[in-house]
Structure 1
Amino acid sequence: MSDSTLDVDQELPLFPLNTVLLPGGRMGLRIFERRYIDLIRNSLRNQQSFGIVWLAEGGAEVLKPSEPQTALAVIGTEAHIADWDQLPDGLLGIVVEGRRRFSIESARQDKSGLYMGKISWLPEQEDVPLPPRSTELHDLLQQLGEHPHVERLGMQLNVASAGALANSLAQLLPLPAADAYQILGIDEPLARLDALHDIVDAISS
């Protein structure tokens, strides 16, 4: 991946959730709090990304202004808005796509309650071709891609590399957030795929 355009002493807006976004993965979000409506509006207007961070200690889907920053996981994912629309209930709906991983050095809240993180981008190892043992996982990804909800997300599922397969499956399978976060934190692509294989085996056994 390309080098960061942000220095470590610059900040990225953070969107804490009780789910994990992985590079290349997509997820749909319903936006209803004013601070996040403003975040999305500014991101669209300025063509900027923001960070999605797992609430490592659980809690509400959207972090309350009074909750401590220690609830934020250390590693997050840069989120790019891939699509947006007004939902039938009148709320703003967006689809975000994961890009680069980052590490949070520190975080603060602005006056609206929005978290701003001082981050450093994590180095990415070059992805590697799929090993022969990944056939079943690759087939599983194709099966998931036939689900209408996954089709609506518009994810790229024609993957041919180990890290991309692990990221895509970890995004789409109904894994505990802690397992998805484990995958997110692994640097080496084959190790990431092996870890996902172990998780899937444990679920199916």
Structure 2
Amino acid sequence: MAETTEIPLFPLSGVLLPHGRMPLRIFERRYLDLVRDCMRNNVGFGVAWIRRGEEVAQRGRARPELGDWGTYARIVDWDQLKDGLLGITIEGERRFSLLRSSVAGSQLVMGEVQLDAPPPRLPVAAEWESLVEVLQSLEAHPHVERMGLAIDYQNAWQVAYTLIQLLPLEESLKYSLLGLDDLEQVVEALNDILNRISGEDYDA
């Protein structure tokens, strides 16, 4: 059942999906404060895709135009980077619909959102096993290994969402796939994408 609440938003030019992980470099004061508050209170924040505009606030510029849906995320790791900035790793939990947004006095964007239930754990159908094989091959890549993913290969939604997160796709396409509610539609779209990328037939 969907739940309506207000959460802080982190507008990004990249799309985060449930089960996906993403590293972020934090340098703006409003986001340093956000990270501190989230870690102190063990809460998350919303990652909203920027349809149009800039990630970094520019004085005198209009605030970015955000997508109609995004992903609620939690911080799963953090470290001080070599350049002295704070680095965090976030993991997506569940999708939300953005009903309206506003800017707080701290310049942090706040969103009134409708949080969806976490994606259900559905079994991987036999005809989808090719997606599992592709994801397993990606997981062996050193860059992906460093993410520390814990993939449940029996969970079809996690397999699909993690693949979408890792594949080199246009962010607008990832955003569109995040908006789909039907798992079979997502898997069909993934098969088409993989066919185009590889020139091979990934359908069972």
Please, what TM-score do these two structures have when normalized by structure 2? 0.89
Residues 63 and 77 of structure 1, relative CA distance in 2, 3 Å threshold? farther
Q: Counterpart in 2 of 1:111?
A: 105
Alignment size in residue pairs = 198
Q: How high is the sequence identity, in percent, across the aligned residues?
A: 44
Q: Counterpart in 1 of 2:12?
A: 17
Verify: 1:167 aligned to 2:167, yes or no: no
CA drift at 1:183: 1.4
In 2, distance between residues paired with 1:67 and 1:19? Answer: 19
Q: Counterpart in 1 of 2:185?
A: 191
Residues 51 and 146 of structure 1, relative CA distance in 2, 3 Å threshold? same
Q: Counterpart in 1 of 2:136?
A: 142
Q: Where in structure 2 are the equivalents of 1:45-64 lying within 5 Å?
A: 45-57=40-52, 59-62=53-56, 64=58
- Secondary structure of the structure 1 residue equivalent to 2:23: strand
Q: Counterpart in 1 of 2:87?
A: 93
- Cα deviation digits, residues 79-102 of structure 1 (max 9, x gap): 100000100110000000000111
Contact 2:93 2:118 in 1 (8 A): no
Contact 1:17 1:63 in 2 (8 A): no
In 1, distance between residues paired with 2:169 and 2:55? Answer: 16
In 2, distance between residues paired with 1:182 and 1:127? Answer: 21
Residues 96 and 160 of structure 1, relative CA distance in 2, 3 Å threshold? same
- Secondary structure of the structure 1 residue equivalent to 2:189: helix
CA drift at 1:40: 0.4
CA drift at 1:168: 0.4
Verify: 1:180 aligned to 2:170, yes or no: no
Q: Counterpart in 2 of 1:128?
A: 122
Contact 2:18 2:91 in 1 (8 A): yes
Which AA in structure 1 matches 2:16? Answer: L
In 1, distance between residues paired with 2:77 and 2:138? Answer: 21
Verify: 1:27 aligned to 2:22, yes or no: yes
In 2, distance between residues paired with 1:124 and 1:190? Answer: 17
- Secondary structure of the structure 2 residue equivalent to 1:153: coil
RMSD: 1.9
Residues 43 and 60 of structure 1, relative CA distance in 2, 3 Å threshold? same
Residues 19 and 158 of structure 1, relative CA distance in 2, 3 Å threshold? same
CA drift at 1:24: 0.6
- Secondary structure of the structure 2 residue equivalent to 1:135: helix
